[in-house]
Amino acid sequence: MCCGTDVVASEYPTLPTCRMIERRRLPSASYNSPVENEHWSRCEFAEQSVVIVGENRDAAQIARHVANKQPGASPFFVMDMPSVMARVDDWQDHLPRVQAYYALRCNADPVLARMLADCARLGFAVSDAQQLAVALELVSADRVIMDCPLWTRKTMRIAGECEVGTIVIENEKQLMDAISYAPHARILLAISLSECRGDSDSLLDQKGAQIEEVEGLLMTAFELRAKVVGIR
């Protein structure tokens, strides 16, 4: 289980019995478990100071304990790491042929990202050069999907130079830039389904090629031998 900004709790294979990871130095009293005669010790994980917890794993109890020991009212969150890993395992058990990609923009917490990176069949989805740099510190480039809200030649060139495994495009200009600057990348074509559903309120629905444009884009990609591998 994890509490961050201040404390993250976890159960992780490479850290025997580790269930809590400190993100910011807490009062020394916080390293004593709320359970009598149970104490927490330290180690390092993902360049973070880690507090190893005993068998008590009640998220509410740990969060309340940390809150009571903190001076002031600094915010923190609690994250159940075994639950996160259980969901990864469920995905791999039920969809073994489908590789999952975690969007770093959701939560780039270094401990969470490190744990997910250690799952060999899970990759990262990034939306800008900064997130790409974070992802490449954790996994190889072929485990990264890059989907920029606004592609420029510069970002496309960065994707190509970093040998990003997969990029997402939505129009002919982006397709041509991908062929020019990232010729080895696999390409996903983003398609807008707002017209089909009669609903264009969502920003996500508005992103992507219109249905009537798709055939032409695919023909161009085929003629130029672009590596279009799917749609999004």
pLDDT band at 206 (very low <50, low <70, confident <90, very high): low
CB atoms within 10 A of CB 39: 11
Burial class (CB in 10 A: 0-12, 13-18, 19+), 109: buried
- pTM score: 0.74
**Mean pLDDT (the chain, rounded):** 78
- Higher pLDDT: 55 or 22? It is 55
pLDDT one-digit tens code per residue, 44-87:
666 666 566 655 567 777 778 777 877 777 777 666 777 888 89
| pLDDT above 90: residue 104 | yes
| pLDDT above 70: residue 139 | yes
| pLDDT above 50: residue 4 | no
**Closest C-alpha among 119, 159, 164, 161 to residue 143:** 164
**Closest C-alpha among 21, 3, 14 to residue 76:** 3
Q: Which CATH number fits domain 99-231: 3.30.420.40, 3.20.20.10, 3.40.50.2000, 3.30.70.1560?
A: 3.20.20.10
Q: What pLDDT score does 14 carry? A: 42
The maximal CA–CA distance of the chain, rounded, in angstroms, is 71
| pLDDT above 70: residue 43 | no
Q: How far, rounded to the nearest angstrom, does the alpha carbon of residue 60 sit from its chain's CA centroid?
A: 25
Distance CA 39, CA 56 (A): 10
Antiparallel, parallel or unpaired: β 122-126 and 20-22? unpaired
Considering the chain, tell me which residue range(s) the CATH 3.20.20.10 domain(s) occupy: 99-231
| pLDDT above 60: residue 200 | no
Q: What is the CA radius of gyration of the chain?
A: 22
| pLDDT above 80: residue 170 | yes
pLDDT one-digit tens code per residue, 112-129:
898 899 988 899 999 999
The strand pairing partners of 126, in sequence order, are 146
Backbone angles phi, psi at 207, to 5 degrees: -85, 135
| pLDDT above 80: residue 33 | no
Mean pLDDT on 134-149 = 94
Q: What pLDDT score does 196 carry? A: 64
